[in-house]
Amino acid sequence: QGIVVVTINYRLGPLGYFAHPALTAAAQKGEPLANYGLMDQVAALQWVRRNIAAFGGDPRQVTVFGESAGGMSTLALLATPSAKGLYARAIVQSGGGWFPPVTLAQREAAGESALTALGHAKASAADLRALPAEALVSGVGGSFGPIPDGRLLKETPTQAFAAGRAADVPLIIGWNSGEDSLMGPWRPEMARAIPEGARKIYAAEAARGDEALARAVFTDNLMGAPARWIARQAASGAPAWLYHFSYVGTRFRPFTDRAAHAAEIQYVFQYWGRRTPMSAVSEEDRAMAVLMNGCWAAFAKTGRPDCPGGQAWPAYSRDADTLLEFGFETGLRTGFQSGRLDFQEQQRLPGLALP
């Protein structure tokens, strides 16, 4: 396709996003805190800017993109002031978009509590840096990811998009029909997470039982509604394109009727390997891969997803509310699941400390 693809490593978990009062006290004025994994990503983009021409790439035409945690990282980069100008466009595949307003103080308290439990109460910055990496990886639990430190990342990506302060670049964003694969096996107690009022909004799913309802709510809450919301916020500037991926590969159809989390990746890269050996690839699968790969490649080259075969994909607008569904019958959908996604906005947005 004439595109240079660069993949990177970056720190994860407590090695990537750890905070502690001692580290904050020891930091120089303006020195970033806690977001070491995000710092690695910015450093990688800076490396690409300096070096990609030697590999045949164009430093003025960088597309930053990722799936799942990579999509979340892409959204964080769009909200990181020092990363602006290092890329020309972005793609977020199943990366959500609604980040809880966790503060540095909260993350510091969690870090201090974890180290105390490991027998390192009142540790200094030097003490913490002397700890073996294995001690942090195995001993510090919890959820880790980018948080506003007031320096590198001044606000959550959700807050940045709401305020119009995210990087104004062309954007593709979307989600899959079976993101509930992240839930794992069904347990009856999962029904407790179903919000009040959901049974009315998700009437068809509710009629099939608690599991079907909970899985639909999970998918919309984690990925679908945030993706549409981000597209809405972004659409007032550079164009944004919204998609929904519901195509199920031929080999998976005996087991499921929904596209699991990450199922789109092999079609985006037109790559058959670990998930689908060549012997299980149908002509229908190949056609979907040609389509998605072509849309993504065109976007990387021009900033517009001009898809193969003349498949229309208009930029998203709040008024039209149109997305492209990559499915058994690929096509444009207007007002796609709008009642469900509106319900999720009403549930979640008030708790995100938006400006």
pLDDT tens figures, 227-240: 999 999 999 999 99
In the predicted model, what is the mean pLDDT of residues 165-184? 98
Query: For position 85, what pLDDT does the model report?
Result: 97
pLDDT tens figures, 11-55: 999 999 999 999 999 999 999 999 999 999 999 999 999 999 999
Q: Which residues pair with 325 in a beta bridge?
A: 244, 331
Q: Percent of the chain beyond pLDDT 90?
A: 95
- How many other CB atoms are found less than 10 A from the CB of residue 91? 25
pTM: 0.97
Say yes or no to pLDDT of 276 above 90.
no
Q: Which residue has the higher pLDDT, 273 or 347?
A: 347
pLDDT tens figures, 63-78: 999 999 999 999 999 9
CA-based nearest residue to 36, from 15, 64, 20, 9: 15
3-state secondary structure of 56: coil
| Residues 6+ positions from 342 with CB-CB distance below 8 Å | none
- Taking the domains of the chain in order of start, what are their residue ranges? 170-355
Q: Are 184 and 304 in contact (CB under 8 A)?
A: no
d(CA 213, CA 183): 13
User: Is residue 113 annotated as a catalytic residue, yes or no?
Assistant: no
Residue 143: pLDDT band (50, 70, 90) is confident
Residue 152: pLDDT band (50, 70, 90) is very high
Query: For position 273, what pLDDT does the model report?
Result: 81
Amino acid at site 71: G
Architecture of domain 170-355: 3-Layer(aba) Sandwich (3.40)
Mean pLDDT rounded to a whole number for the chain: 96
